[in-house]
Structure 1
Amino acid sequence: MRVLLVGGGGREHALAAAIAASPKLSQLWCAPGNAGIAEIATCVPIGAGDVARLVAFARDHAVDLVVAGPEAPLVAGLADACAAEGIACFGPTAAAARLEGSKAFAKELCSEAQVPTAAAATFDDVEAALAHVRAHGAPLVVKADGLAAGKGVVVAETITEAEQAIVAMMRDRAFGPAGERVVIEERLEGREISFFALCDGENAVPFGVAADHKRVGDGDRGPNTGGMGAYSPPAGFTPALEAEVMARIVQPTLAAMARRGTPFRGVLFCGLMLTAAGPKLIEFNVRFGDPECQALMLRAEGDVLAALAACARGRLGDVTVRMRDEASVVVVLASRGYPGAYATGSVIEGLEQAAAMPKVRLFHAGTRLAAGRVLADGGRVLGIGATGATVAEARARAYAAVDVIRWPDGFCRRDIAAGV
């Protein structure tokens, strides 16, 4: 099978490694890829958002399956453009990708499908949004309606914080067009987890659960990031809970999307809060999380490529997917200054020593090669992953590997999966 993987981050490195392990693979390209992906795939200089060039490349190189890593090309219609050329794509159409592309649409869908979620209201007028906050009080969650690279959510502890978030999003356009509308919802209380299901339009199967750390600093302090680490599985996520999530959230969502004539194919990422009243949806994503994908792929058993292809072709019943009993932990190394301004171009050393450690896997996210050296080329630069019989064992291995890497311009949280 000839595969084109779209993206260039740690998630895509994890997917590339899983795909490369498949006996069905004959050729793997990645656009644009990174220094780590280049070791297992042919990288091509096409941006993940350049849908027209991606599809032209897939057509010209007789690609059998396009695998979408990030959400933006899906929202922009990558799967639709592939379908027009007769190319299978792992990922939903633009209409189905609205589950992530529009938080207002997701709330509408939840109401239709009776999916348990936070009470919410949508606004496209600044003054109306401010009036709602003043009438309802805090705490509240303010979300930009559109795609904001995982950063368009503010958990406001006070009315003032909520007002500032609304003005920043709607009036100051802090997230561009994504903030033209906002969704304001109640803050759910409980434990947050990430649940993944593979879907083929009608059928779905669970594909692991993970927990990530969004805040930049130890103790969950500082601004939100794209994710500073993850682990799988979270404690206490039982088979009964998995069955409840599938029955109350995943299956009703698939059925509602099919009724609308926009069946969902790909991976459905359900951000959940485990509340006293049961699991409730925080938000949908239409792709694997990053760094949750790295944690999941360390545990995935079987032919991942076959499973992705089955989703794209509506034949999920043809494959079996499961997670190994072992646990996994991923620690993200980021450039100093992230998620604010940061420098690029610094040299990273010690990667070979870290990668040689038992049950350790390195995932490149923001790297590039220059004169045989690996240089930092992004905010989140590396994911250091490890497995073990327990989360604690995997955590110890991951941090042992972190400690042999020499990169003075980088940093990480030291409490990923602590106490789990």
Structure 2
Amino acid sequence: MRVLVVGSGGREHALVRTIARSPLVTAVFCAPGNPGIGAHAILVPIPATDIEALTTFAAANAIDMVVPGPEAPLVLGLADALLHQGIRCCGPSAAAARLEGSKQFTKEVADAAGIPTARWEAFTDTHQALDFVRRRGAPIVVKADGLAAGKGVVVATTVEEAEAAVIACIREGAYGAAGATVVIEEFMEGPEVSVFALCDGKNALFLGAAQDHKRAFDGDRGPNTGGMGAFAPPPGFTHATQELVMESIIRPTLTEMAARGAPFVGILFAGLMMTAAGPKLIEFNVRFGDPEAETLLPLLADDLMPALIAACDGTIADIALRWHPEASVSVVLAAQGYPGAYRKGSEIRGLDAASAGDEVSVFHAGTRAEDDRVLSDGGRVLVVNATAPSLALAISRAYHAVDAIDWPDGFCRRDIGQGHG
């Protein structure tokens, strides 16, 4: 098979490396990719959101399957365009991708399917939203309805903070059209867990669970980011918990989406709050998480391709995957200043030394190559993963690899996975 992976980050690096190992695959392409991905795939200079160019390339190059990494091309209809050309896409249609493209839509689906989630209301009028916040009080959560690059959610600890978030979204247009509608919901308490399932429209295959660290600095301080690290398995996430999540959240979602004429195909990512009353849905994403993909895929003991094919062909119920019974830890190296303003173009050395050994992987998330040098080219630049029989050893291996990387302009959290095993 000839496979095209869409995207340019650490998630896509992990996907490409996993797919390239399959004996079913004869060629892997990645659009647009990055220097790390270039070691496993042919890079194609097409932006991830150029649906027409991606579809044209896939058709002209006899691509058998497209695996999208980020959410934007799916929301824009990449899967629909490929299906029109008769090309498999392991990702949802634009109609099904609304599960990530609209938080209000997700809440409506959850309510219709009886999925446990926070109580909520949606607003397009500033005054009505502010009145709701003042009546409900704080803590309370304010979310931009649409895609806002991970920046449209405010967990407000005071009414004033919630009011400012509402005004920024609706009145000031801080997130453009994505914030024209706000979803305001009750605050939930508990650890967050990311759960992944591979779906074929009717059935789902559990792909693993991980816990990530969103805040920029140690001790869960600083601004929210796209994720500064992750580890698996999450503490207390038992097989019984897995089955509960699949039965109460994942499968009811598939049933409801099919009933709406938008069957979900691809990777469904459920962000959960593990409350005292049980797991509750925070939000859905319609693709692998980042850095969760870099954390879970190194634990896969089987070939992923048969499962991806089965998801596209509606036969996922026939698939079982084996996973290494180990712990996995991923540490993100980000540019100084991230998630605010940061500088690009500084050289990164020591990557070969860092990735020595089968148990350590260095995934490129925001890099570019120039004159045989690797330079930073994003906010989150590298993801260092390590696996081991215990979480403590995986943490030790990950930070040993981090310390082998020579990049003065970067920083990382030093407490990923700490205190959990």
Q: TM-score range by the shorter chain?
A: over 0.9
Look up the SS of the partner of 2:129 in the other structure. helix
Q: Which amino acid aligns with 1:69?
A: G
Q: Shift in Å at residue 358 of structure 1?
A: 4.9
User: Is this contact kept in 2: 1:268–1:285, CA < 8 A?
Assistant: yes
Q: Deviations over 1:389-417 (max 9, x none)?
A: 01111111000000010000000000100
User: Which aligned runs of 4 or more in structure 1 are off by greater than 3 angstroms?
Assistant: none
User: What percent of counterpart residues are identical?
Assistant: 60
Q: Which residue does the alignment assign to 2:193?
A: 193
Q: Is the 8 A contact 2:336 2:410 kept in 1?
A: yes
Q: Give per-residue Cα distances to partners, 1:254-306, cap 9 Å, x unaligned.
A: 00011111100001100001111111000000000000110011111211122
* Paired position in structure 1 for 2:248: 248
Which residue in 2 is equivalent to 1:363?
Answer: 363
Deviation at 1:350, TM superposition (A): 0.5
2: CA distance, partners of 1:342 / 1:383: 17
Task: Kindly state the Cα deviation for residue 357 of structure 1 after the two structures are TM-superposed.
Answer: 3.8
| 1:300-334 Cα distance to aligned partner (Å, 9 max, x none) | 12111221121122121343223210110000000
2:381 corresponds to: 381
Provide the residue aligned with 1:331 in structure 2.
Answer: 331
* Runs of 5+ consecutive residues of structure 1 not aligned to the other structure: none
Q: Which residue of 2 aligns with 1:296?
A: 296
Residue of structure 1 equivalent to 2:184: 184
1:220 aligns with 2:233: no
The answer to whether the 8 Å contact 1:302/1:320 transfers is no
Contact 2:205–2:317 (8 Å) recurs in 1 = no
- Superposition TM-score, scaled by structure 1 size: 0.99
User: Which ranges in structure 2 are unaligned for 5 or more consecutive residues?
Assistant: none
Quote the residue 2:40 is aligned against.
Answer: 40
Match of 1:340 in 2: 340
Give SS of 1:403's match: helix
* Counterpart for residue 81 of structure 2: 81
CA-to-partner distance for each residue in 1:83-135, whole Å, 9 max, x for gaps?
00000001000000001100000000001000000000000111111110011
> Contact between 2:88 and 2:312, CA under 8 Å: does it hold in 1?
yes
How far apart, CA to CA, are the structure 2 residues paired with 1:391 and 1:294? 16
**Alignment of 1:231 onto 2:231:** yes
Once residues 359 and 324 of structure 2 are traced to their aligned partners in structure 1, the CA distance between those partners, rounded to angstroms, is 14
CA distance in 1, matches of 2:116, 2:155: 20
Letter matched to residue 81 of structure 1? A
**In structure 2, what is the Cα distance between the partners aligned to 1:29 and 1:90?**
15
Q: Distance in 2 between matches of 1:293 and 1:350?
A: 23
Does the Cα contact within 8 Å between 1:231 and 1:295 map onto a contact in 2?
Answer: yes
SS of alignment partner, residue 322 of structure 1: coil
1:1-57 Cα deviation digits (max 9, x unpaired): 000000000000000010011000011000000010011100010000001100000
Cα pair distance change 1:125/1:152, threshold 3 Å: same
Partner of residue 306, structure 2: 306
Match of 1:150 in 2: 150
Matched letter for residue 418 of structure 1: Q
Q: Distance in 1 between matches of 2:241 and 2:198?
A: 17
For residues 286 and 214 of structure 1, what CA distance do their matches in structure 2 show?
A: 19
Q: Are the aligned partners of 1:207 and 1:323 in contact in 2 as well (CA < 8 Å)? A: no
Would the aligned equivalents of 2:79 and 2:93 in 1 still touch at CA under 8 Å?
yes
Deviations 1:331-374 (A, max 9, x none): 00000010001010000000010011451000000001100010
Partner of 2:137: 137
2:6 equivalent to 1:9: no
